[in-house]
């Protein structure tokens, strides 16, 4: 089944067009990269896919359904997961409690009465998913630690574990490796590949860390000044003269793709 399909998406802030007629897809069972220089329109595109921004024109299909007019909450219920550029965790809860939130929202639902009445079976399932996600992200040893005490890298892993504990079918990741050191980034990449291969989910990732992008993506789309300028495999993207030129001003800071 199809994951995300975006067609001729146009997004403007006031009169300024930030994304111009972008067409791309992110199928299930694949890691798809969305890259481009600073200000290219990647986060703006994510926000429109997610439902936080309304496009001027164009369509967003999720799992074969047109969700262009649907809210962010409805898209989340359909199976769209997301992390943000700024890590968002509940600082006063423990790592385990944070991760359990991800499992509870999807299993028990939004209705507080249903949460109160959640059966033992559901609670067991929440616990199982929580422990599984903690282990997958290598943070079981931190389960009882308050999130406020974690390093940025550990918070990133916590955020990922919370999403993995839920039931998303397609995950949007916005610069997930920022704040991670090299070995944490490598582990992060392995966790993502594992989720795709074992659960058949799809991932769309915006990321500046080119070694990570090149090692985990099956397919890459490149944005520049709001336009899709290239799409191809990691090897094709690395070899592309068009992509290289788009990145020229950033060679020293981000590394060329
Ligand atoms: N809230 C906003 N209001 C007005 N213009 C905005 C807003 N957010 C982004 N822009 C503009 O839209 C364009 C695309 O920005 P966007 O943040 O989507 O790019 P990006 O590719 O995610 O950049 P980065 O890699 O730096 O995060 C930029 O020109 C930016 O200045």
pLDDT digits (tens, 9 = 90+) for 14-35: 989 999 999 999 999 999 999 9
C-alpha to C-alpha distance for 243 and 239, rounded to whole angstroms: 8
Q: What's the domain count of the chain?
A: 2
The greatest distance separating any two alpha carbons of the chain, rounded to the nearest whole angstrom, comes to 59
Interface predicted TM-score (ipTM) of this complex, two decimals? 0.96
Domain boundary among 113, 144, 167: 167
CB atoms within 10 A of CB 125: 16
**Whether residue 231 is found in the same domain as residue 177:** yes
Quote the pLDDT of residue 247: 84
For the chain, the average pLDDT equals: 88
Q: pLDDT of 179-201, one tens digit each?
A: 888 888 888 999 999 999 998 99
CA-CA distance, 80 to 223, in Å (whole number)? Answer: 22
Top pLDDT among 119 and 54 is at 54
Whose Cα sits closest to atom 5 in ligand 1? 13
Please check whether residues 92 and 194 belong to one and the same domain: no
Write out the residue range of the structural domain in which residue 160 sits: 88-167
User: Phi first, then psi: what are they for 177, rounded to 5°?
Assistant: -90, 0
Q: Can you tell me which atom of ligand 1 is nearest the CA of 13?
A: 4
Decide if pLDDT at 251 tops 60: no
Confidence of residue 82 (pLDDT cuts 50, 70, 90): confident
Is the pTM value of this prediction over 0.90? Answer: no
Residues in Cβ contact with 9 at an 8 Å cutoff, skipping those fewer than 6 apart: 19, 21, 22, 23, 45, 48, 55, 57, 58, 59, 60
Q: Residue 64 Cα, ligand 1 centroid: separation in angstroms?
A: 28
Task: For residues 36 and 58, state if they share a domain.
Answer: yes
**pLDDT for 253:** 47
Q: How far is the CA of 4 from the centre of ligand 1 (A)?
A: 22
Ligand 1 site, residue 15, Cβ cutoff 6 A: no
Query: How many angstroms separate the CA atoms of 70 and 203, rounded?
Result: 20
pLDDT at 220 over 60: yes
Mean pLDDT to the nearest integer, 73-90 = 82
Question: How remote is the CA of residue 41 from the centroid of ligand 1, in Å?
Answer: 6
Q: What is the pLDDT of residues 231-246, one digit of tens each?
A: 999 999 999 999 999 8
Q: What is the CATH number of the domain that holds 223?
A: 3.40.50.300
**Residue of minimum CA distance from atom 29 in ligand 1:** 39
Average pLDDT over residues 157-171: 90
The last residue of one of the domains, among 167, 187, 215, is 167
Q: What is the pLDDT of residue 115?
A: 58
pLDDT beyond 70 at 113? no
């Amino acid at each position: 089944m199809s994951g995300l399909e975006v067609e001729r998406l146009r997004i403007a802030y006031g009169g300024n067009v930030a994304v111009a007629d972008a067409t791309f897809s992110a199928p299930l069972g694949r890691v798809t990269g969305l890259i481009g220089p600073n200000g290219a329109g990647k986060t703006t595109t994510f926000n429109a896919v997610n439902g936080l921004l309304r496009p001027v024109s164009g369509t967003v299909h999720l799992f074969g359904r047109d969700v262009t007019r649907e809210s962010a909450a409805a898209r989340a219920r359909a199976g769209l997961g997301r992390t943000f550029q700024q890590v968002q965790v509940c600082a006063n809860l423990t790592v385990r409690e944070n991760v359990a939130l991800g499992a509870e929202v999807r299993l028990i639902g939004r209705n507080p009465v249903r949460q109160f009445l959640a059966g033992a079976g559901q609670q067991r399932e929440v616990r199982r998913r929580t422990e599984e996600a903690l282990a997958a992200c290598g943070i079981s040893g931190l389960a009882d630690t308050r999130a406020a005490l974690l390093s940025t890298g550990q918070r990133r892993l916590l955020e990922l574990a919370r999403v993995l504990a839920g039931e998303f079918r397609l995950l949007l990741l916005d610069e997930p490796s920022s704040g991670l050191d090299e070995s944490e980034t490598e582990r992060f990449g392995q966790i993502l590949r594992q989720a795709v291969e074992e659960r058949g989910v799809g991932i769309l990732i915006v990321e500046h860390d080119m070694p990570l992008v090149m090692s985990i993506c099956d397919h890459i789309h490149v944005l520049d000044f709001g336009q899709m300028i290239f799409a191809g495999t990691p090897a094709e993207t690395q070899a592309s003269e068009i992509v290289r030129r788009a990145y020229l001003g950033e060679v020293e800071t981000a590394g060329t793709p």
